[in-house]
């Protein structure tokens, strides 16, 4: 709603406030893959995370339909074209909220405590875990939430560092190359339809093969899949300056999305495995914060690198970071 008011009133501060609130909403949504992983056995977590990420494919496909519906609203009711985008977002987020409240039953926290409870633990008992504890009441009794190690201690584990680095660097490189591609295509003489198609192909690369990535992560290991993602991102950075033909741009955007997917799904599965019991929200939230910061750095730096060396600038940076 703030976005609609910002567009109608041409108010930059309202626009920034709406973007900040949208970021908060997205940060909560990003935890969905970890929530789903926690309530499933460790052997299934790679596939589950891949399935959750795959759900983004429906957003990629449905987004184009929503854009067409938005165009109809704009023409039919004389609405501002940018305000329509925010109005559509309000409607879609409202649907998501209703689905979450009605269909997410039982609460994942309840499922987790039931899975961790021993056969001897009865209703109303307190499950003991290491560290200072505070009680939380869920269906089936009151359980203890641990307040254990510091984040610095948790993130000092090598596998944890690999997981967070994979997710963050994958996001950084993908963002750095993706956000500047429309400008590169515009300079090459391609129109808006070509650009939107390239972004749609890129989104499919990000999400469509997630079940395959989850399967590979479980079959071959998380670290090998992360390494494969790094190789794909390196190739994208190396070949970016030479992507001029439309087919090369489409293929490159798909590969860029899938390189991100390999790092994201396998890195998330490794992170879910390494998170201490009872500290998922705190640790995963910190990891997402790091990822968001790196994505912001990628967005801010891509324009300067492009102005300095054209598409070779972001490409070289992506190559070095992925390596």
Q: What's the pLDDT band for 147 if we cut at 50, 70, 90?
A: low
* Percent of the chain whose pLDDT exceeds 90: 28
pLDDT at residue 100, as a whole number: 81
pTM: 0.75
The model's pLDDT over 169-183, given as tens digits with 9 standing for 90+, comes to 999 999 999 999 999
Domain spans, the chain: 2-106, 111-147, 151-322
The model's pLDDT over 46-94, given as tens digits with 9 standing for 90+, comes to 888 888 888 877 776 676 667 677 777 777 777 777 777 788 888 888 8
CB 286 within 8 A of CB 151: yes
pLDDT at residue 137, as a whole number: 45
Mean residue pLDDT of the chain comes to 80
151-322 has CATH 1.20.1250.20 classification = yes
Q: Report whether pLDDT(146) > 80.
A: no
Question: Which one is predicted more confidently, 10 or 269?
Answer: 269
CB 315 within 8 A of CB 238: yes
Average pLDDT over residues 216-222: 92
CB 282 within 8 A of CB 131: no
The model's pLDDT over 13-54, given as tens digits with 9 standing for 90+, comes to 888 888 888 877 777 777 777 777 777 777 787 888 888 888
Give the span between the Cα atoms of 306 and 234, in whole angstroms: 18
Q: Is 209 helix (H, G, I), strand (E, B) or coil?
A: coil
Q: Is 222 helix (H, G, I), strand (E, B) or coil?
A: helix
């Amino acid at each position: 709603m703030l976005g609609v008011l910002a567009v109608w009133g041409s108010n930059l501060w309202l626009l920034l406030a709406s973007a900040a609130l949208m970021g908060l909403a997205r940060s909560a949504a990003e935890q969905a893959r970890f929530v789903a992983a926690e309530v499933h056995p460790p052997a299934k977590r790679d596939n589950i995370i891949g399935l959750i990420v795959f759900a983004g494919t429906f957003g990629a496909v449905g987004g184009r339909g929503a854009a067409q519906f938005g165009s109809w609203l704009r023409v039919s009711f004389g609405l501002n074209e940018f305000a329509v985008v925010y109005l559509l977002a309000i409607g879609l987020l409202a649907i998501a909220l209703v689905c979450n409240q009605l269909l997410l039953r039982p609460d994942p926290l309840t499922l987790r405590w039931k899975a961790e409870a021993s056969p001897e633990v009865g209703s109303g008992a307190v499950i003991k875990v290491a560290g200072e504890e505070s009680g939380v009441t869920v269906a089936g009794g009151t359980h203890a939430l641990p307040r254990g190690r510091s984040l610095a201690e948790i993130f000092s584990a090598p596998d944890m560092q690999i997981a967070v680095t994979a997710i963050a660097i994958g996001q950084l490189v993908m963002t750095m190359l993706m956000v500047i591609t429309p400008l590169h295509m515009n300079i090459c003489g391609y129109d808006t339809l070509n650009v939107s198609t390239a972004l749609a192909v890129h989104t499919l690369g990000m999400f469509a093969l997630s079940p395959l990535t989850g399967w590979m992560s479980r079959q071959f290991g998380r670290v090998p899949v992360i390494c494969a993602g790094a190789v794909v991102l390196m190739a994208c950075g190396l070949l970016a300056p030479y992507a001029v033909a439309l087919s090369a741009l489409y293929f490159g955007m798909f590969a860029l999305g899938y390189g991100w997917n390999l790092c994201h799904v396998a890195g998330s599965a490794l992170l879910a495995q390494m998170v201490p019991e009872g500290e998922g929200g705190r640790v995963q939230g910190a990891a997402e914060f790091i990822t968001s910061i790196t994505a912001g750095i990628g967005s801010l730096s891509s324009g300067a690198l492009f102005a300095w060396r054209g598409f070779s600038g972001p490409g070289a940076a992506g190559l070095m970071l992925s390596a």
